[in-house]
């Protein structure tokens, strides 16, 4: 009995869900006329963020905007209680809005208004609520005054300088600087932790300073708070030699400092835990003490680190994972090592999650007596609790609604009625956050309305696809029908198609389709109709278009453009030349059908376009005009003209008219200095494809009279095209029409075949005859079929289509079939007998004993036992193998489990095949079926295969970045498919000097290293790099890169250092000396009466300009009495003036003007090609020079701003 009751309940629920799936919400169009009259509950469209931090120096604005009809009214709650905005003069609500403005111009403390706010928008149909907005005021407290004793530490020991910044809202950004406002250098030994403290893995004597200062930068108030500086004293067992140079390989200068194995400064102990929310970033930190400085490595137990999301920062001491997901939970291990020993720390990471939407409720518009549902599904960790509210109050405490039923995260509505509209809220919350969504249920009854224009006139071109629109709306959704000329039972099917949005499609508009179309929309509330008047017009065509032509200069050129169009449509003819409007002016003349260009000149050459345009269509014709030199009386001139396309043939004539032939004669046109090699004859017929010209046949260029072989029952007209070595002529004018008489078909339909679409039928199909093969009216096909090898009588049928289905056949049996075409003049020839088959069924047997051998990294040999051929129950097509990659043998690597197929055709007794293209080091599953043309049989046994390890793919990316003058930084990422266990990377590189390659050099790296900084032995050389990943099998595909990419790039990167080279300085001094000597010689000659005026003498010398240096001073920064700084500058990102011009500037010619040598020109190359001018710029005016002579020293406080 209980089982029967459960089945009944399950059936009821299934029926209910099926009913709800059939109910769809009404989509309200965004038409202003509809929205103006449509009553809708309120919807929140804008609100402030949940966690709202404001600047205490500004007024507070809490946003809340909503829409609805009637216009919503707004109220606020603060800390769960009604907020009376009228009692507080500082609080004001904007008109027709719920946005609150709290003004502090007349005094008041912003902290007094902190708390939780919630906005409510209501009208007669419901209440919508905003999120709960937690308002907090930003705080930037001062650093507590404290007296810091000097820190004394022995050399080689570890040290932590605590920062402990004052708690701010939001928390400040911290950094360490010295008294000169220079950042404290950080490296593997010295670095700042996530908490702001400064960690020394081991202390050196050179760390002894008196000005280690921690700074806190507060974003909202734009201030920097500075802590009192630490004074660090380092005790050394032996005196430290300050005069000796620092050696990174021996930082202690040969002094004996006891070494120590690593210990963790942060975090403490051997284990710790970390909780992070889904979607946030995970930051794990390990800072170790020890001598020598330990190196840090990271691992994840049970899998690899997520290469796509993980980043290592702070010299590998910080592991960052962006956009954390549940897969990132687990145990992470940081390992600190030096040659004395090693230590590890385990961090247990838990990933929790604030709620996020799986199915967010949406607005529901229903008609009376309709059904619907609201669904609210959310996920999170822990799983969120879902609470429903109606109009801002819990559903449990609202008035009962008989049409509403609560079912967990779903509200079901049955047979809703007018008056039950409301706004429902879904609140999904857990300890980490909440989600709130509003969704209204609006019950609407509205008589049908037509949204489009009334009695619209539509003009279309004949034979075009046409759409008549009739947009409508109503509730319940109206039924819509179309009628023509007020008659008939509705248009749908055949020539017409009605879409769900009310549009009527006419597949090919004809003249008889003209008329008045009426669309009628009706529901229980009423009926409305609209009319669309359709007019079908003839197309606008250019029947005699432009032709390419050549004209002698001084002659007259003429372009014809004869237009044929619908008499009721005005047509505008416009002309273009080279795609620009043609200005007729006084010389060009045009009439209705042509354009004349008298007295042709070179400026008339180009492409001319004639456009004939009506209000609904247009046609275009273009041709080129070539202008030739004036005609000469020398006869050889015409033969010297360039060859061109021939003129079209003329005067087409038909003679010798016969039943299936006719003689066509024409006069060839001018060949334009290129012999006509061929004539192409085309035809057009007006019965099947009017206006479409088809190629009939071609003839040699020495013929102008031919016999054309024709088909019966065709109304022909012909035209001829001449062809020479340049191209085709324009088509000739058409010949008179000639109609041939009808005859029986003389062609057998091709492509005869029979094949079953179901297991108990056979579909016989064939290619229908072409229109020119019909030979007469009323074309049909006579079809015969019978079972093969049975001797039974033929069955037959006559049909006008191109297929016929034979029903009630046995499964997959052969048939004999034949066909014949016939028309009103008789029957054509009968085809040969072809063999067809009835339909197939599913194969009954499965391949057995599927097994594999010869397993490699990318391929495997498959063996199976074949099926009995009779069990295929159809035409055997193939053995089809389904295989998919179940998993990678590398833990944690996600793979696609998409099924793939491979077909094998084999009729052997012991079939086998090789399956390739597999991914190495993977777990595969596979099974096999036998397939005929339409079905697959049951599956075989499933086989599991584990491919062997292979070489990895190329690294995901490989970047080469120049970090310093002679240093480059290489960075890469793991391959997407490691194809095995990565054991490291190898980097090969060599120099490239033209076609000469230098010797290879090799660097290897462990698998957790994905970046490398190297010094270039010769920065003037180009280097080519080959980076590949390694497994135990070997090296994979290499990722190739070059640096620099070209010789020009190398020059541009290094050219800034030319001025520091000794040879360059010497060359510049020599050039300056030569110029000085030339100037002295010029002035001596001038004083002795030489023929060189001073200006010309100077023009023969090189141009030398003096550049003015301009330094741009930084804005001063105000220091407050409390030790904080306001940092703000509008000049932070401006470049320094007077910067040197690039050496790549293009040279310009000199005009030998004295002005150019003085103040009149830019610094450019000289006439002799020298580049002195490249190192100088134009002399600034006196005023500008005087205004930029001085520069002030850089402010130390500005250094704070630039570095923070």
Could you tell me which residues are beta bridge partners of residue 475?
A: 446
User: Please, which residues have CB within 8 angstroms of residue 449's CB and are 6 or more apart in sequence?
Assistant: 33, 34, 472, 473, 474, 521, 528
Average pLDDT of the residues in 480-501 = 81
pLDDT digits (tens, 9 = 90+) for 334-372: 999 998 899 999 999 999 999 999 999 999 888 888 899
Exposed/middle/buried for residue 867 (C-beta within 10 Å: 0-12, 13-18, 19+): buried
Q: Cβ distance 391 to 127 under 8 Å?
A: yes
Complete DSSP assignment for 1150-1185: ----HHHHTTSS-----TTS--GGGG--PPPPHHHH
pLDDT digits (tens, 9 = 90+) for 1118-1172: 444 444 434 343 444 444 333 333 333 444 433 433 333 333 444 443 433 333 3
Q: Report DSSP state, residue 1094.
A: H
Residues β-bridged to residue 277: 352
- Over residues 710-736, the pLDDT tens digits come to 988 889 999 999 999 889 999 999 999
Residues 414 and 403: their CA atoms lie apart, in Å, by 5
Over residues 406-459, the pLDDT tens digits come to 888 899 999 888 888 899 999 999 999 999 999 999 888 888 888 888 889 999
Tell me the pLDDT tens digit for each residue of 791-804: 788 999 999 999 99
- Gyration radius of the chain over CA positions: 45
Is pLDDT above 70 for 820? yes
* Residues 707, 661 contacting (CB under 8 angstroms): yes
Q: Is 845 helix (H, G, I), strand (E, B) or coil?
A: coil
**pLDDT tens digit string along 232-247?**
999 886 655 544 444 5
- Most confident of the following: 101-105, 606-610, 1178-1182: 606-610
SS (HEC) of 765-829: EEECCCHHHCCCCCCEEEEEEEECCCCCCCEEEEECCCEEEEECCCCCCEEEEEEEEEECCEEEE
**Kindly report the CA angle at 313 between 309 and 315, in degrees rounded to 5?**
140
pLDDT tens digits, 994-1026: 767 788 888 899 999 999 888 887 777 888 889
Model pLDDT, residue 915: 93
Is residue 15 pLDDT above 60, yes or no? no
What confidence score (pLDDT) does residue 723 get? Answer: 94
Beta bridge partners of 260: 291
């Amino acid at each position: 009995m209980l089982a029967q009751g459960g089945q009944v309940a399950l059936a009821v629920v299934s029926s209910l869900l099926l009913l709800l799936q059939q109910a769809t919400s009404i989509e309200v169009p965004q038409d202003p006329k509809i929205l103006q009259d449509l009553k809708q509950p309120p919807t929140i469209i804008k609100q402030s963020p949940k966690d709202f931090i404001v600047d205490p120096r500004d007024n507070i604005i809490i946003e809340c905007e909503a829409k609805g009809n009637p216009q919503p009214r707004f109220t606020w709650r603060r800390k769960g209680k009604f907020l009376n905005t009228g009692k507080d003069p500082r609080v004001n609500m904007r008109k027709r809005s719920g946005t609150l403005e709290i003004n502090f111009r007349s005094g008041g403390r912003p902290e007094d208004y902190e708390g939780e706010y919630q906005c409510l928008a209501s009208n007669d149909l419901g209440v919508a609520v905003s999120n709960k907005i937690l308002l907090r005021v930003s705080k930037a407290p001062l650093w507590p005054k404290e007296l810091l004793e000097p820190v004394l530490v022995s050399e080689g020991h570890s040290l932590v300088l605590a920062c402990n910044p004052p708690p701010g809202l939001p928390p400040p950004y911290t950094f360490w600087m010295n008294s000169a406002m220079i950042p404290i250098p950080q490296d593997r030994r010295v670095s700042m932790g996530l908490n702001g403290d400064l960690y020394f893995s081991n202390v050196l004597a050179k760390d002894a300073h008196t000005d280690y200062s921690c700074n806190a930068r507060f974003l909202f108030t734009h201030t920097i708070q500075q802590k009192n500086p630490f004074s660090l004293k380092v005790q050394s067992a032996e005196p430290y030699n300050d005069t000796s140079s620092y050696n990174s390989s021996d930082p202690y200068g040969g002094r004996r400092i006891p070494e120590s194995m690593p210990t963790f400064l942060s975090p403490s102990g051997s284990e710790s835990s970390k909780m992070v929310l889904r979607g946030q970033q995970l930051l794990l930190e390990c800072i170790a003490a020890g001598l020598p400085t330990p190196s840090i490595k990271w691992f994840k137990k049970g899998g690899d680190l997520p290469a796509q999301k993980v980043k290592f920062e702070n010299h590998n001491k910080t592991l960052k994972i962006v956009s954390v997901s549940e897969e990132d939970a687990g145990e992470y291990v940081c390992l600190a090592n030096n040659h004395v020993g090693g230590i590890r720390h385990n961090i247990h990471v838990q990933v929790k999650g604030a709620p996020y939407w799986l199915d967010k409720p949406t607005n529901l518009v229903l008609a009376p007596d309709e059904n619907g549902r609201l669904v609210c599904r959310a996920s999170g960790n822990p799983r969120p609790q879902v609470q429903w509210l109606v109009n801002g109050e819990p559903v449990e405490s609202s008035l009962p609604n008989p049409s509403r039923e609560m079912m967990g995260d779903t509200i079901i509505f049955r047979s809703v009625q007018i008056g039950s509209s409301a706004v429902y809220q879904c609140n999904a919350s857990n300890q980490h956050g909440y989600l709130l969504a509003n969704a209204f249920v609006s019950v609407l009854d509205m008589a049908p309305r037509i949204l489009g224009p009334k009695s619209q006139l539509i003009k279309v071109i004949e034979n075009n696809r046409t759409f008549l629109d009739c947009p409508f709306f109503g509730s319940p959704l109206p039924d819509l029908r179309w009628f023509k000329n007020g008659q008939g039972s509705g248009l749908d099917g055949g020539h017409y198609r009605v879409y769900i949005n009310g549009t009527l499609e006419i597949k090919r508009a004809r003249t008889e389709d003209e008329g008045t179309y009426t669309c009628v929309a009706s529901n229980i509330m009423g009926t409305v109709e609209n009319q669309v008047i359709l007019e079908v017009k003839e197309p606008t065509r250019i029947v005699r278009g432009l032709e390419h032509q050549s004209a002698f200069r001084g002659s007259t050129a003429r372009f014809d453009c004869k237009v044929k169009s619908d008499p009721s449509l005005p047509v505008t003819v416009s002309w273009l030349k080279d795609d620009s409007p043609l200005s007729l002016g006084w010389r060009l003349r045009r009439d209705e059908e042509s354009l004349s260009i008298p007295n042709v000149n070179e400026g008339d050459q180009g492409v001319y376009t004639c456009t004939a345009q009506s209000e609904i269509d247009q046609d275009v014709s273009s041709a080129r005009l070539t202008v030739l030199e004036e005609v000469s009386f020398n006869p050889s001139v015409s033969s010297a003209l360039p060859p061109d396309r021939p003129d079209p043939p003329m005067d087409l004539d038909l003679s010798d008219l016969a039943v299936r032939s006719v003689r066509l004669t024409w006069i060839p046109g001018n060949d334009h200095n290129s012999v006509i090699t061929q004539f192409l004859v085309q035809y057009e017929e007006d019965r099947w494809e009017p206006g479409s010209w088809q190629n009939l046949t071609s003839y040699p260029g020495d013929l102008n009279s031919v016999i054309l072989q024709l088909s019966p029952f065709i109304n022909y007209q012909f035209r001829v095209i001449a062809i020479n070595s340049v191209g085709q002529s324009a088509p000739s004018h058409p010949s008179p029409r000639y109609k041939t008489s009808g005859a029986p078909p003389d062609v057998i339909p091709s492509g005869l075949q029979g094949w079953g679409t179901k297991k108990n039928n056979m579909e016989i199909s064939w290619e229908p005859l072409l229109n020119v093969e019909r030979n007469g009216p009323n074309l049909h096909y006579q079809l015969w079929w019978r079972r093969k090898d049975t001797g039974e009588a033929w069955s037959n049928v006559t049909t006008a289509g191109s297929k016929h289905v034979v029903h009630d056949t046995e499964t997959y049996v052969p048939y004999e079939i034949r066909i014949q075409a016939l028309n009103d003049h008789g029957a054509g020839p009968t085809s040969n007998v072809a063999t067809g088959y009835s339909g197939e069924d599913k194969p009954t047997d499965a391949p057995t004993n599927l097994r594999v051998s010869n397993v490699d990294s990318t391929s495997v040999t498959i063996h199976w036992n074949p099926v009995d051929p009779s069990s295929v129950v159809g035409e055997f097509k193939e053995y089809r193998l389904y295989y998919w990659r179940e998993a990678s043998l590398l833990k944690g690597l996600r793979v696609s489990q998409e099924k793939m197929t491979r077909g094998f055709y084999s009729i052997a007794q012991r079939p086998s095949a090789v399956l390739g293209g597999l991914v190495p080091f993977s777990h595969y599953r596979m099974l096999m079926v036998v397939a005929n043309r339409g079905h697959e049989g049951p599956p075989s046994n499933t086989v599991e295969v584990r491919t062997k390890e292979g070489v990895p793919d190329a690294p995901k990316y490989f970047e080469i970045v120049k970090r310093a003058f002679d240093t480059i930084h290489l960075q890469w990422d793991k391959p997407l498919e490691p194809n095995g266990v990565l054991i490291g990377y190898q980097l090969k590189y060599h120099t490239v000097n033209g076609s000469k390659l230098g010797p290879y050099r090799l660097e290897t790296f462990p698998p957790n290293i994905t970046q490398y900084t190297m010094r270039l032995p010769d920065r003037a050389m180009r280097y080519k790099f080959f980076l590949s990943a390694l497994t135990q099998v070997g090296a994979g595909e290499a990722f190739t890169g070059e640096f620099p990419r070209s010789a020009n790039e190398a020059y541009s990167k290094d050219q800034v250092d030319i001025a520091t080279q000794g040879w360059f300085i010497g060359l510049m001094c020599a050039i300056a000396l030569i110029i000085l000597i030339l100037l002295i010689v010029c002035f001596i000659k001038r004083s002795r009466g030489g023929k060189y005026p001073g200006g010309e003498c100077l023009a023969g010398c090189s141009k030398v300009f003096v550049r003015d240096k301009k330094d741009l001073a930084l804005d001063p920064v105000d220091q407050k009495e409390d030790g904080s700084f306001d940092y703000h500058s509008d000049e932070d990102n401006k470049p320094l003036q007077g910067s040197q011009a690039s050496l790549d500037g293009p040279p310009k010619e000199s005009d030998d003007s004295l002005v150019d040598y003085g103040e009149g020109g830019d610094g450019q190359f000289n006439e002799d090609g020298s580049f002195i001018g490249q190192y100088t710029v134009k002399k600034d005016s006196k005023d500008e020079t005087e205004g930029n002579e001085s520069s002030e020293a850089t402010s130390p406080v500005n250094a704070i701003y630039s570095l923070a």
